[in-house]
Amino acid sequence: MQATAAVLNQPNGPFSIEQVDVAEPLAGEIRVAIKAVGICHTDLVIASGAMGLQFPAVLGHEGAGIVDAVGEGVTDIKAGDKVLLTFNSCGACKPCSHDEPAYCNHFVPLNMVAVRGDGSTRITRDGQPVSDNFFGQSSFATLAIANQRNVLKVDDDADLSVLAPLGCGIQTGAGGVLRSLAAKPGESLVVLGAGAVGLSALLGGLIAECSAVIVVEPQESRRALATELGATHVLDGQGDVAAAVRAILPEGADMVIDTSGFMPVVEQSVNMIANRGRIGLLGVPGSLDAVLPVPVVQFITQGGTVRGIIEGDSDPHVFLPELIAHHKAGRLPIERFSKSYRLEDINQAIDDAHHGKAIKAILLID
């Protein structure tokens, strides 16, 4: 079936709005008419040609829409259902069978490579293959092919133009605090970076009833927004950030979560934590070879932990409904840092995101 897609023809774009063909869903697949899709930092990393992306390609992995058709064997989702799309997983490996699909043994090929294992694509342009299946969806398009594992049915009254980014960026930040670091009431939290993921981590800390949430962010407008959203303290990230944190929390922080990937500040996280403190890393550094040196004796003495985080340890069929309930109750006001664009204006949206004019850009489709 014909669809309109934002096609990436070369590294770093621009995206070009073009007509493509999207195949009928095969067994286990679900075709979705996309109504809203968030732009996530990972789209831009992959658009650079990282992870071996083949051009042309359709990216997009925070899709939300209405089911258009389902393949054989799909019984829990039907045409007309309102759905959110999220990351894909195999459902059969050890992490998947332990309800940890974010650490699926096949996460990279199922989400990052944007081509199926057999090299086939479900999107074509003038009969030629277009790399698709990015995060099991490729949703910068009016139609996307997803899979049973990464489609979540939502209520008919759900506002997809708001909820679309739950499927990646929001669950990554909020889940990083609520699930990966397992924040408890009364604990203190430092969030490095106040983009959409960092602000979601802040909101996760507030949901967990953390006693102090310190947000470290160089942009003044984002620090102001963090304060409005409930951060107890903000720091600009200049100078000795660990000392600034300890000026607020003399014993150190129970948790530090990095959403920035900015290593000069991330390296200081080891001096920010309290005894039994946990550091969560989810911001991808500019260099894929970046290293975090850990002071071993200090960490032994403190019982410190450093761990990596994908998708906030989300098990989407459990965690996304929880996030939707938090949003409904006003505890996850993601509208406060979202900005809407038309799909055709994707290049403008990306430019605005690069220049700090949009924190979470969401593309809308009629």
Question: By C-beta, is 23 or 90 nearer to Zn ion?
Answer: 90
Does 168 help bind Zn ion (rule: CB under 5 A)? Answer: yes
What are 162's two structure tokens? 């708001």
Nearer to Zn ion, 40 or 362 (CB): 40
37 with 362: CB under 8 angstroms?
yes
- The answer to whether 93 contacts Zn ion (rule: CB under 5 A) is yes
Are 362 and 161 contacting, i.e. CB atoms less than 8 angstroms apart?
A: yes
Q: What is the DSSP letter of 335?
A: G
Nearer to Zn ion, 90 or 290 (CB): 90
CB of 91 to Zn ion, least distance (A): 6
Q: How far is the CB of 93 from Zn ion (least distance, A)?
A: 3
CB of 38 to Zn ion, least distance (A): 8
Stretch that binds Zn ion, among 18-26, 154-162, 167-175, 179-187 (CB under 5 A): 167-175
Rg (CA), the chain: 20
Q: How far is the CB of 109 from Zn ion (least distance, A)?
A: 11
Specify the residue, 106 or 331, whose C-beta has the smaller distance to Zn ion. Answer: 106
Nearer to Zn ion, 65 or 101 (CB): 101
Site membership for Zn ion, residue 96 (CB under 5 A): yes
For residue 253, give both structure tokens.
């922080």
Q: What HEC string does 247-278 produce?
A: HHCCCCEEEEEECCCCHHHHHHHHHCEEEEEE
**Nearer of residues 246 and 317 to Zn ion, judged by Cβ:** 317
Q: Which of 6, 40, 244, 253 is the binder for Zn ion (CB under 5 A)?
A: 40
- Would you state the structure tokens that stand for residue 347, as one six-digit string? 């290049």
Contact present, 279 and 256 (Cβ < 8 Å): yes
Q: Which residue reads 């489609």 in tokens?
A: 151
Contact 55, 16 (CB under 8 A): no
Size of the site for Zn ion (CB under 5 A): 8
* Distance in Å, CB of 103 to Zn ion, minimum: 8
228-to-99, 195, 359 alpha-carbon distances in Å: 35, 14, 15
Among 121, 113, 118, residue whose Cα is nearest residue 141: 121
Cα Dmax for the chain: 64
Chain centroid to CA 292: 22
Query: Between 194 and 233, how does the x/- string for binding to Zn ion read (CB under 5 A)?
Result: ----------------------------------------
Q: Single out the segment in contact with Zn ion by CB under 5 A; choices: 90-98, 194-202, 211-219, 328-336.
A: 90-98
Question: What mask, x for binding Zn ion by CB under 5 A, covers residues 234 to 263?
Answer: ------------------------------
**Region 98-157 residues binding Zn ion, contact defined as CB under 5 A:** 104
Chain centroid to Cα 339, Å, comes to: 16
Closest separation in Å from C-beta 61 to Zn ion: 6
Smallest gap, in angstroms, from Cβ of residue 189 to Zn ion? 22
Length of the chain: 366
- Measured from the CB of residue 254, what is the shortest distance to Zn ion in angstroms? 27
Distance, CA of 279 to CA of 210 (rounded, Å): 15
The single residue among 36, 42, 84, 189 that binds Zn ion, judged by CB under 5 A, is: 42
What b/e string do you get for 5-16 counting C-beta neighbours within 10 Å, with b at 16 or more? bbbbeeeebebe
Query: For binding to Zn ion (CB under 5 A), which residues are involved?
Result: 40, 42, 89-90, 93, 96, 104, 168
